[in-house]
Amino acid sequence: MIVPIFTLRFNHKIFAGLTTVGLYDGKHPCLTCATTAGKILVHNPHARFNEGGRISAGTESDVHLLNIGQQITALTAGALNSNVNKDFLVAGTQTSILAYDVDQNADLFYKDVADGVNVAVVGQLGQIDCPIAVVGGNCSIQGFDYEGNDLFWTVTGDNVRAMALCDFTRDNEQELIVGSDDYDIRVFKKDELVSEMTETEAVTCLCPMSGSKFGYSLANGTVGVYDKTTRYWRIKSKNQVVSIFNYDLDGDGVVELITGWSNGKVDARNDRTGEVMFKDNFPSSIAGIIKADYRMDGQQELICCSINGEVRGYLPMEQSGGTTAPTTEKDVFRELSLKKQNLLTELKNYEKNVKAHKLPVGLEKSEIDGTPVGLIPANTQLLVTLDVSPGDANIQPHIVLHISTSNDTILRAIIIFAEGIFKGESHVVHPSPQNVSNKLDVRIFPQKDGVVDLHIKALVGYKSSVQFHTFEMTRQIPRFTLYIVAPDDTPEPKSSVVFHITERINRVVMWINQNFLLQKEIEAEDELNVKLICLRENTPLFVNMEPNQNGKITIKTDNMDLAGDIIQGLTTFLGIEDLQVTADFPDYLGYLRSVLEKVDEYHSTSEKLTAEMADHSNLIRSLIVRAEDARIMGDMLNMKRGYMELNTVNRDLISQYSIRCNNHTELLSNLKIVNQTIQKAGRLRVGKSKTQVIAACRAAIKSNNISSLFKIIKAGSS
């Protein structure tokens, strides 16, 4: 336990993940949190603000409220203008971004962001010379300078959830790390994608640590640390991670990863091992963690806020006077004793086992020294094979795991722990007592392609056993599993990607054999011709390679994602750093055209609705004035009529609001498709060509040049 050096309490709810601290006058730190009713709470114990405008004094002393008027979805603060030595507040909503000069009580800039703002960071990015506010939204990332100029734009595979600036490549320039809903962590150096790590759930938080290390957390309660692309450690808890932060709590010069949990726990973990070093508990969920010199004495405190407005500040251990040495010594002793005890138990188990060898084989129940034991033949083995099944009308295509024992022992249950392919983290097969046997089939339905490790635990014994042997083994399923060799009459897909590589055909064949779960390994000598069917969507996939024609590879599939996956996987395997392709996806581009048309439609509807709303608000004003006049005159009849009308208008407004909401969600989902298409087009290329394609697509969309967009997707440039 660590002891806080100060505590505060705001009588406001604080939204999880929306806390920050800023030196708005350049000197005094102010804790800033998003609270209910579209307001931002600014705690300012050191100086006064000018009230008026957006700022109003709160009910408590030192607390001011900043009115945004819309639900706040992202909040951060930072020195956005390098000419002025003070921080600016950046608040994001579902449709806009506001940069605010709290000190002057004035807007710095306000911009509409169609993709919404899920997360925002402020800082230097790569070689862009001025600090920018980077906002992540619906598949897109945008960067603004202090005047609101759009300096940076790129796309990711899904909604952006978390961002952090970190010197990932250790070149003294900051890279942008982005975590999104598609389980991926992507690292951008300016707008070039330098690394991509796939996790097992949506990424919820990211924070820079020392050097190239950064912390991350997932929606399933995992928290961990990466150094570049290597994961140092991770742990999983049943609670949700709300916020992660870096702070050197033990004063050894290396920052720890501080995690705030949904159950109110705060813990500090060693950045290399993940070992818990300190913890504290709040009565309610944590809302945010920051650090600041809040007492103005030259020391940075770690500050944690809970959603109920409780704030605690901590100092590094040695400074706050807490000593941990005696407890650790005791703990070491206890831990060692425990280890000794466990070893002794294990030894005892082996000793009993030796005694068991004297017992005859085939007994279902036996006793040694009066305690019952579970007996099985010592040479029992567990056999596991993987297979692909096309399924039938009732069952989706799936992978079958055939598990069996090598003798008459039965499999009571199978527990498989794996990440990302089951609803939870485990899958259990427990046959009814009359159906147990020495064979079990486990069906697995992977929802997307990817490498998965299956940790299998099989309980082996006899029918009436109460005690089972647990067999443990790990099997890996390759990246592309639900594919089988297509029959000869399979029609050829309309779409294709064509590119040239200078590699031997064997290497490509090797890659395919490693990454596809095929019953028979494919072979090829002078020409590679593989025809597969993806069982999940029942679509064909043809891969063709002609070494004679400059190593021309043709991938034929209607699934743009799949083509991208294959190209990315193959080029990584072959070490290709730059690749331009010719992509022809007629169906998909047709679909994109219709989406773009819809986007236009929704835009115009939205404008029309806004105009109508303005009309209504005028009407309301006049109705209220009329009704109130009537009331003052004592004309109750007219007052009543006036308010009745007002009620009708109000009802209209509400129904219009829901229309607007629907319109907006539709617009967003369509915009997402557009962004994702650009991302997919990028994934068909590698290296520089990829960055170029994304930039060119963006330019085409900005200038509303659809035909040029299509050309870029096809050829890589206009």
Partner 1 sequence: MEIELTRSEYIQVGVTSPKTTKILPMAKEKHGQKVVVADHEGAVTCFQMKRGDASIVFKTLPGPKITRLELGGPLGNVQDRIFVSCGPEIRGYNKKGKQFLNFDTNLTESIQTMAVYGSDLFLCGNYIYNHYRDCKDFNYYLSTDRINDTICVPSEQIDDVIPILACQDRVLRVIRDSDLRYQVDISGSPTCTCLMDPKGEILYGTSDGLFGVVHIGPTEPLHRWELPNDDNLGGVLCMESYDLFDDGKNEILVGRDDGLLQIYGYDETGDPEIKCKSTFSESITSVAGGRVANVNVNEAVVSTYAGWITGISVAQNHQGANGDYMKSATSEENQMKVDLLKSEIEELQVRIARERENYQYMASTDNRVSAVPQFSINDKFVLNGDDASYHLTLEVQMPIDNVLLQSDVPVDLLDLDKNSAVVSFSDVDIENGNHLLATYRCQANTTRLELKIRSIEGQYGTLQAYITPRCQPKSCQVRQYDVKPLSLHQRISALDESRPFNVLQLSGQFSLAEIHSWINFCLPDMPERASGDSVNMAFRSTFLDTQLECRYKKGEGIFRSDNLSTIAILKDVMTKEATKKKINLNISHDINDDSIAHALNIIHPKMEQQLSLAKRVQIIDALKELEVSEGGTTCLSESYREILANAEQLREEFKKQPSRLERLSGMITDLYLDTYKFKGQSVKNKVPALLELLNHYNLDSLIDFFTN
Question: Segment 442-481, which members bind partner 1 (CB under 8 A)?
Answer: 457, 459, 465-472
**Any contact of residue 70 with partner 1 (CB under 8 A)?**
no
Q: Does 520 help bind partner 1 (rule: CB under 8 A)?
A: no
Rounded least distance, CB 620 to partner 1, Å: 19
39 touching partner 1, by CB under 8 A:
yes
CB nearer to partner 1: give 424 or 575.
424
**Residue for token pair 């929802």:** 447
How far apart, in Å, are the Cα atoms of 563 and each of 220, 552, 556, 578, 581? 29, 15, 8, 16, 11
List Cα–Cα distances, 632 to 619, 625, 626, 635, 672, in angstroms: 20, 11, 10, 8, 53
Question: What does the per-residue mask of binding to partner 1 show for 352-371, with x meaning CB under 8 A?
Answer: xxxxxx-xxx-x--x-x-xx
Q: Lay out the site mask for partner 1 across 298-317 (x = CB under 8 A, - = otherwise).
A: ----------x---------
Does the protein bind partner 1 through residue 641 (CB under 8 A)? Answer: no
Nearer to partner 1, 375 or 567 (CB): 375
The distance of closest approach from Cβ of residue 415 to partner 1 in the complex, given in angstroms and rounded to an integer, is 6
Is position 660 an interface residue for partner 1 (rule: CB under 8 A)?
A: no
Shortest distance in whole angstroms from residue 68 CB to partner 1: 13
Nearer to partner 1, 308 or 396 (CB): 308
Q: Is 238 in the site for partner 1 (CB under 8 A)?
A: yes
Q: Which range in 206-214, 223-231, 315-323, 342-350 contacts partner 1 by CB under 8 A?
A: 342-350
DSSP 664-696: HHHHHHHHHHHHHHHHHHHHTSBTHHHHHHHHH
Nearer to partner 1, 391 or 569 (CB): 391
Residue 261 CA, distance from chain mean position: 17
Q: Quick one: 471 or 710, whose CB is closer to partner 1?
A: 471
Judged by CB under 8 A, the number of residues near partner 1 is 84
Amino acid, single-letter form, for residue 377: P
| Binders of partner 1 in range 576-595 (CB under 8 A) | none
Q: Which is nearer to partner 1, 310 or 558 (CB)?
A: 310
Which of 3, 296, 347, 395 binds partner 1 (CB under 8 A)? It is 347
User: Is there binding between residue 61 and partner 1 (CB under 8 A)?
Assistant: no
Could you tell me the smallest distance in angstroms from the CB atom of residue 183 to partner 1?
18
**Residue 623 and residue 605: Cα distance in Å, rounded?**
27
Smallest separation (angstroms) from partner 1 to the CB of 709: 43
Contact with partner 1 (CB under 8 A) among 153, 233, 417, 573: 417
Q: Strand 88-92 relative to strand 96-101: parallel, antiparallel, unpaired? A: antiparallel
All residues at 6 or more sequence positions from 105 whose CB lies less than 8 Å from its CB, including other chains: 49, 50, 51, 52, 53, 54, 55
3-state SS, residue 704:
coil
Count of alpha carbons within 13 angstroms of residue 232, beta-carbon side: 20
Measured from the CB atom, the residue of 340 and 402 that comes closer to partner 1 is 340
269 binds partner 1 (CB under 8 A): no
> Residue 513: which of 483, 545, 539, 536 has the closest Cα?
483
Taking CB under 8 A as the criterion, the residue among 83, 127, 172, 345 binding partner 1 is 345
| Smallest distance, partner 1 to C-beta of residue 342, A | 6
| 330 interacts with partner 1 by CB under 8 A | yes
DSSP state of 50: P
Q: How far apart are CA 451 and CA 420, in angstroms?
A: 10
* Tokens found for residue 681: 């087009």
Dihedral of CA 117/121/122/124: which sign?
A: negative
Nearest residue (CB) to partner 1, 423 versus 520: 423
Site string for partner 1, 7-26 (x = CB under 8 A): -----xx-------------
Among 7, 323, 379, 548, interactor with partner 1 by CB under 8 A? 379
CA distance 707 to 461: 67
CA distances for 316 relative to 278, 291, 711, angstroms: 10, 12, 58
Of 561, 575, 531, 572, the C-alpha closest to 684 is 561
What's the min distance (Å) between Cβ of 205 and partner 1? 19
Shorter beta-carbon distance to partner 1: residue 267 or 558: 267
CB of 395: closest distance to partner 1 in angstroms?
Answer: 13
To partner 1, the closest distance from the beta carbon of 290 in angstroms equals 22
Q: Which long-range contacts (CB under 8 A, 24 or more apart) does 505-513 make?
A: 505/545, 505/547, 507/573, 507/574, 508/545, 508/553, 508/570, 508/574, 511/569, 511/570, 511/573, 511/574, 512/543
Q: Does 394 bind partner 1 (CB under 8 A)?
A: no
- Residue number, 40 or 97, with CB nearest to partner 1: 40
Is 528 a binder of partner 1 (CB under 8 A)? no
- Which CA distances in Å does 98 have to 58, 107, 111, 135? 21, 7, 7, 11
Location of structure tokens 């290329």: 685
**Contact between 704 and partner 1 per CB under 8 A:** no
Q: Which is nearer to partner 1, 106 or 343 (CB)?
A: 343
Tell me which residue has tokens 């083509």: 563
Q: Which of 334, 402, 439, 688 binds partner 1 (CB under 8 A)?
A: 334
Is 112 a binding residue for partner 1 by CB under 8 A? The answer is: no
Do 82 and 48 meet the contact criterion of CB atoms below 8 Å apart? no
Considering the rule CB under 8 A, would residue 383 count as an interface residue with partner 1?
no
486 binds partner 1 (CB under 8 A): no
SS3 label, residue 592: helix
